[in-house]
Structure 1
Amino acid sequence: MTTASRESSTLYQAADGSELPLLVFEPGDGTPPRAGIVMFHGGALRQGSADTLAPHCRTLAARGILAASAGYRLLGHGAASIDDCIADVRRAIEQFARLADQRGLGASRLASGGSSAGAHLALVAAMIAPNEPAPAPKPGVAAVVALNPAGLDLRSLAPDAQRSLEQQAGIREGRLTDYSMIEFVQPGNPPTLIHHGTRDEVEPIESVRRYRDAMERSGNECTLREYEHAEHGFHYPGNSTHFDDVIADTARFLLDLITAK
């Protein structure tokens, strides 16, 4: 395990041609990274920045992982709907793959992930086809790491809650389930690690368990790490004592799973 990280910042081109930040963290001692992950921040698609997950990426880099935190257009700030956010996330993953290739990491050693809404965006990009609400023919990454993800089982919400979310996401009525991840579970989905608190007020732990069970029934690897009494956002440094455990478990998942390919 390395003891420091080397940091740099670059830009990638969003789907509308604007430029967005991509913060890059790699092992500080010059050793080649053994795996890679690009992460997307939370904030209900309306707030947040790439800086939010810098502590996570920095610590993963110190463990031998190429890690990046990417921005994306936010609703009310360049994005008209969640579709714009998803389009940017797909672009960021492509740019990260090019950077990783320059460092000797092929696609089979790369993951995506994020926190809350950002975790949902990473799952959408990995599991849903770009041009229609259908399962992706093949994953764009080798694995996904989701920190208290949202949007796993949207069909289970009450009709009023579904309509409210549709308005918030800038999509027409009846489209919410086009973004409900449990609807797109099929054999061949990428192995997934989920960190979630049992008192999460945004995505109930019961929804996460249903998603985990659906993945396993389809023959996919889906590991759920439950944190007793933890609420949404529990994984940030300073919010709780869980940050170190989340990072250590994520690093093991990436290094054990991806480097074994």
Structure 2
Amino acid sequence: MTASRESSTIYDAADGSELPMLVFEPTEGTQPVAGIVMFHGGALRKGSADGLAPHCRQLASRGILAVSAGYRLIDQGATSIDDCIADARRAVEHFLGLAALRGLDSSRLASGGSSAGGHLALVAAMIAPDEPLPAPEPDVAAVVALNPVVDLLAYSPTQLQIIEQDAGIAAGRAIEYSPIEFVRPGNPPMLIQHGTHDEVASIDQARRFRDAMAQAGNDCILLEYEGAEHAFHYPGPAGHFDDVIDATAGFLLDRLATN
């Protein structure tokens, strides 16, 4: 395991404003063998790029270029989930450029995130930007999502109405943002890490998504953390941080570094 070095940069949001991007990479003279850009959680209304800095720092120590990107939050520059998704796409594009400067092409790059950020990564990788159709070719070669929402239609009508209102989704259009609806052969390999007692996105959602991916012939691993609740993967008393990092690094190195 190597040490890591840290820097920061900015990228242009879809509206032209500047957003932060924290960059973590192996020490000088050590070539990264894979890369990932990650998006923080917070229900699209709170959080910052700092939230996943501990994860990125540890991944960089494993030889992975790891970037944590901010995005406009709703009522803080964004008016709806569409703005957040647009920023995530911009962040991926900027990340591709940063990675290319470090000798990594798109076949060695992944996206991912936690909760709402994991959902953003999945949407950007699976859904075409101009209309609700499956993306023909994702910009990244893999996705790592930590406790994401993957099936918006799994919620009750009342819950779904609240989700639509909070995310700025037009009534009745949540299906257009639901990753499970866009599972098709050719989706990139995915690692989903989820707690069995997640109170925000049930483990049943994650299991159905994994099964749909498998049925479509795609590579999708679901790691279940017994008894873990939402946001189980941060450093602290939950005790799962090291296991999450080990699994993430192992997945990225296995799927991307051997290309």
- What is the TM-score of this pair, normalised by structure 1? 0.98
Instruction: Name the structure 2 match of 1:168.
Output: 166
Matches within 5 A, 1:188-227: 188-227=186-225
- Superposed CA offset, 1:184-231 (max 9, x none): 000000100011000000000011100000000000000000000000
Instruction: Name the structure 1 match of 2:231.
Output: 233
Look up the SS of the partner of 1:112 in the other structure: strand
- Superposed CA offset, 1:17-65 (max 9, x none): 0000000000025210000000000000000000000000000000000
Compute the RMSD of aligned alpha carbons. 0.7
Cα separation, 2, equivalents of 1:49 and 1:256: 29
Which runs of structure 1 show a deviation greater than 2 angstroms over 4 or more consecutive aligned residues?
none
Cα separation, 2, equivalents of 1:172 and 1:124: 17
Cα separation, 2, equivalents of 1:20 and 1:44: 18
Instruction: Name the structure 2 match of 1:72.
Output: 71
- Superposed CA offset, 1:105-138 (max 9, x none): 0000000000000000000000000010110011
| Structure 2 residue identity aligned to 1:159 | P
Structure 1 spans left out of the alignment, 5+ residues: none
| Structure 1 residue identity aligned to 2:18 | E
Look up the SS of the partner of 1:9 in the other structure: strand
| Structure 1 residue identity aligned to 2:103 | G
Instruction: Name the structure 2 match of 1:48.
Output: 47
Instruction: Name the structure 1 match of 2:99.
Output: 100
Instruction: Name the structure 2 match of 1:23.
Output: 22
Look up the SS of the partner of 1:11 in the other structure: strand
| Structure 2 residue identity aligned to 1:125 | A
Structure 2 spans left out of the alignment, 5+ residues: none
Task: Tell me how far 1:6 sits from its aligned partner.
Answer: 0.4
Cα separation, 1, equivalents of 2:180 and 2:136: 16
Instruction: Name the structure 1 match of 2:137.
Output: 138
Between Structure 1 and Structure 2, how many residues are aligned?
259
- What is the TM-score of this pair, normalised by structure 2? 0.99
| Structure 2 residue identity aligned to 1:192 | M
**Percentage identity across aligned positions?**
70
Q: Tell me whether 27-36 or 9-18 shows the greater mean CA deviation.
A: 27-36
| Structure 2 residue identity aligned to 1:47 | K
Look up the SS of the partner of 2:23 in the other structure: strand
Task: Tell me how far 1:240 sits from its aligned partner.
Answer: 1.5
